[in-house]
Amino acid sequence: MSIVKAVRGVRDLLPPETDLWNRIESTARNVFERYCFGEIRTPIFEETQLFARGVGEETDIVSKEMYTFTPAGDEGGGQSLTLRPENTAGVVRAYIEHRLANSGQLQKLYYIGPQFRRERPQRGRYRQFFQIGAEVIGPPGSGSESPVRDAEVLEMLASLLSELGIRGWTLLLNSVGSSSERPAYVARLREALTPVAGQLCANCQRRAVTNPLRVLDCKTPQDQPIIDGLPRIWDSLDPSSKAHFNAVRAALEACGVPYEHDHRLVRGLDYYTRTTFEFVQRNAAAGEGELGAQNALLGGGRYDGLSEAIGGPRAPGIGFAIGEDRLVLALAAQSRAEVRLADAYIAPLGEALNAPSLALARELRASGLRVELGDGSFRLKKSMETANKLARAVVILGEDELASAMLTVKSFATGEQTKVSRNLRELTAVLAGNLQS
Ligand code: AMP
């Protein structure tokens, strides 16, 4: 009989990798706690129309990526249900359903859980993937529209990424204006696309007709010069949207969070208004940029009209979703790139020094140091080269050192060479001191 395997695009997570998942989740909970967010858990499936109305019929997610089913014989018969492809629409539905607006206060909610999209699987892109996300939403007058909310969310994300130890991220920031400003821009874009669409990739030719904003997302290299020449959304924004965006920028600058204004960042979901953002990792050095084409660690933005789009009261808000799978890939690559050096490498000078060197290694290891042991058949030059690759310091043990009980210790961090008595306490103090330098 053939073996039953996991379905294409979904995966098992096994130890020890799950340790990393748990560490990421507990760091995120800890950070959210400090910013006064509370956890929300919404169902894995919802009525299909929630996503159709919330995320938008024309988006890639709704038009081709959803797992939709109609349970047979269900009460109410024939109701179309969908595995959630994202969680913002579900959170806003719950906000409306439980009348969270009644408190008049901002609601700050976070979630951690699986999402489902029928995308073409590849590294960093799965059909069941996990998002860690948060939403700040509230009725008019609660301050939910304020640009300081946007900046606070972005500053929180910068802190979270740094606490997780993610390196080399870039915050891309843009404003897509309000839903009343967008039609004028889309019309300008359509007009500008008409004469050039034929030179773009097949995807863009389709998007130019169905959803011209998505052309701005295209990554096909040959299309880039043409797309860079298209009108910018910034020039279609009204003064109040420009002022909102400038206030977000000023607040980020005040707290020292670096960003790039990316005029092409429109994101793929219809509900975004004004601020949109992504944190990407694109440096190839030291394991950064591990994600290749799927280099967006997280994305989000403001959605001032979403509540109304799904039948609720006006409730401006801002939120984000972090791709947890991608955080795990980025962190795993970084730790592979960081070779963990031993605290000391013991270099015996001659075969006769192997045994006393092993005895010394045994003592140092017993006192908690990480020690590599060399080989007396190596010449000094080879010992030093090997030690430099594997350890922070080398301890040289030759005939002279054995006779005088004074060892030669060289720190690779400072280049300093000293004589240290062959006394466990002194030696560990020197080697441990070297770790701090
Ligand atoms: P989105 O909900 O499309 O704004 O995506 C937010 C983040 O979720 C992205 O920046 C990715 O890190 C992650 N993400 C989205 N789709 C997938 C997927 N199919 N597999 C893994 N991560 C994903």
Tell me the CATH number at 372: 3.40.50.800
- What is the pTM assigned to this prediction? 0.79
Final residue before a domain boundary, out of 281, 312, 334: 334
User: Which residue is closest in CA terms to ligand 1's atom 11?
Assistant: 323
The CB of 119 under 6 Å from ligand 1? The reply is yes
**Do 329 and 364 fall within a single domain?**
no
Q: Rounded to the nearest whole angstrom, what is the distance from the C-alpha of residue 254 to the centroid of ligand 1?
A: 29
Quick check: is 358 in a domain? yes
Percent of the chain with pLDDT over 90: 81
22: in domain: yes
Distance CA 426, CA 437 (A): 17
- Over residues 74-92, the mean pLDDT reads 89
Q: Can you give the CATH number for the domain in which 306 is found?
A: 3.30.930.10
- Domain housing 285: 17-181+237-334
In a domain, 8, yes or no: no
Domain final residue pick, 334, 369, 404:
334
111 within a domain of the structure (yes/no): yes
Task: Please report the DSSP string for 247-284 in residue order.
Answer: HHHHHHHHTT---EE-TT---S-TT-EEEEEEEEE---
**Of 312, 334, 356, at which residue does a domain stop?**
334
Residue nearest to atom 4 of ligand 1 (CA): 299
Give the residue-averaged pLDDT of 384-400: 95
**Number of folded domains that form the chain:** 2
> Residue 320: which pLDDT band, with cuts at 50, 70 and 90?
very high
Confidence band, pLDDT 50/70/90 cuts, at residue 301: very high
Residue 283's pLDDT band, with cuts at 50, 70 and 90, is low
Residue 293 in any domain: the answer is: yes
Q: Are residues 47 and 83 in the same domain?
A: yes
How is residue 54 written in tokens? 């919330």
- Span from the CA of 111 to the centroid of ligand 1 (angstroms): 15
Rounded CA-CA distance 428/222 in Å is 60
**286 band by pLDDT with thresholds 50, 70 and 90:** very low
190-208: b (≥16 Cβ within 10 Å) or e: eebbeebbeebeeebeebb
Residues sharing a CB contact under 8 Å with residue 101, sequence separation 6 or more, in sequence order: 95, 138, 139, 313, 315
Quick one: 357 and 380 in the same domain?
A: yes
Say yes or no: 271 and 162 in one domain: yes
Ligand 1 atom closest to the Cα of residue 119 is: 19
| Sequence-distant (≥ 6) Cβ neighbours of residue 268 within 8 angstroms | 59, 60, 61, 214, 217
Ligand 1 centre to CA of 298 (Å) is 7
Which backbone phi and psi does 49 adopt, to 5 degrees? -65, -20
Q: What is the pLDDT at residue 51?
A: 97
Based on the domain organization, do 170 and 317 belong to the same domain?
A: yes
- Classify residue 211: in a domain, yes or no: no
CA distance linking residue 197 with residue 189, whole number of Å: 11
Alpha helices by DSSP H, 268-351: 306-309, 324-337
Question: Based on the domain organization, do 265 and 405 belong to the same domain?
Answer: no
Distance between CA atoms of residues 143 and 122, nearest Å: 41
Asked if pLDDT for residue 338 goes beyond 90, the answer is no
Structure tokens, 148: 């300081």
> Angle between the 424-436 and 354-366 helix axes, to the nearest 10 degrees?
70
Q: 230 lies in a domain?
A: no
Would the pLDDT of 139 be above 50?
Answer: yes
* Cα–Cα distance measured from residue 22 to residue 224, given in angstroms and rounded to the nearest whole number: 40
Q: How far apart are CA 199 and CA 215, in angstroms?
A: 13
301 lines ligand 1 (CB under 6 A): no
